[in-house]
Amino acid sequence: MLSKNTLKFIKSLQQKKFRKEEQSFFVEGSKNVTELLLSDYEVSHVLCTQQFGNEHAKLLKGINAAVFEVSQSTLESVGSFQSNDAALAVAKIKPNTPIGLSSEEWAIALDDVKDPGNLGTIIRIADWYGIQKLFLSDESAEFYNPKVLHASMGSFTRVKIYYTDLHSVLKKIGLPVYGAFLNGDSIYETKFGSGGIILMGNESNGISKELEPLVSRKITIPRFGHAESLNVSVATAIICDNIKRSTQ
């Protein structure tokens, strides 16, 4: 039976403070919950409607977690979605461990990207282009924020994230760093190598002065109209696409 304490625990995970204390997070909706259950995350609780339970009976049977059949109203009362007729799942946060890169690998580094929606979308973009590693500054949005996970549409299960001092990492990593600037070289004329770091800056201030000296090559997306700038997630997608086109 689903207890009031369990419901209270799950609801508390909407706040970063309690996610940190409990080292747990939750995801909502059929897509994200299904992706989570198929991943290597340690799932502790699954709350689902009868329909979701019937559709994914085999998957639910194969996990080591407490599974509860609940009403749609219960899902909506403990989660962040206004409407959820499928499921909600709780899992353990993975440790923040260093990640390495080979000379023929691409990674994305985010310098204080603070909007959860932008981070979630960039994770999804990275997954689309086969980029599995992301380095984030400590001031960037929290990976386990429900808005980040929702925007990622399940891609959060297929990427590795490392929060770190970007200055130290970029200085030691030994790979070219392509930094996005308004006054860089055109991405259409840039010859990208077989691996490197795509460095994207803060939504308002761009790449910090501290990291600028570590950029091997400044790149830009040519502007043909009159917009002042591009959203950081849109810009990331365009850069990733051009890199993949030029290295295939």
In the sheet that holds 87-92, the strands lie side by side as: 24-28, 87-92, 43-48, 66-69
- What pTM value is reported for the model? 0.95
What b/e sequence results for 105-135 when a residue is b if at least 16 CB atoms lie within 10 Å of its CB, and e otherwise? Answer: bbbbbbbbbbbbebbbbbbbbbbebebebbb
- What is the pLDDT at residue 247? 73
Residue 99 placed within a domain? no
Q: Are residues 155 and 204 in the same domain?
A: yes
CATH number of the domain at 236, please.
3.40.1280.10
Q: Are residues 78 and 191 in the same domain?
A: no
Per-residue pLDDT of the chain (248 residues; tens, 9 = 90+): 799 999 999 999 999 999 999 999 999 999 999 999 999 999 999 999 999 999 999 999 999 999 999 999 999 999 999 999 999 999 999 999 999 999 999 999 999 999 999 999 999 999 999 999 999 999 999 999 999 999 999 999 999 999 999 999 999 999 999 999 999 999 999 999 999 999 999 999 999 999 999 999 999 999 999 998 999 999 999 999 999 988 76
Per the CB < 8 A criterion, the answer to whether 41 and 91 are in contact is yes
CATH number of the domain at 75, please.
3.30.1330.30
Domain boundary (58, 92, 126) is at 92
* C-alpha triplet 197, 129, 184: angle, nearest 5°: 40
Residue 19 placed within a domain? yes
How is residue 32 written in tokens?
């994200």
Q: How many domains does the chain have?
A: 2
Q: Are residues 114 and 78 in the same domain?
A: no
Q: Are residues 29 and 142 in the same domain?
A: no
Strand partners, 25: 91
- What is the pLDDT at residue 15? 97
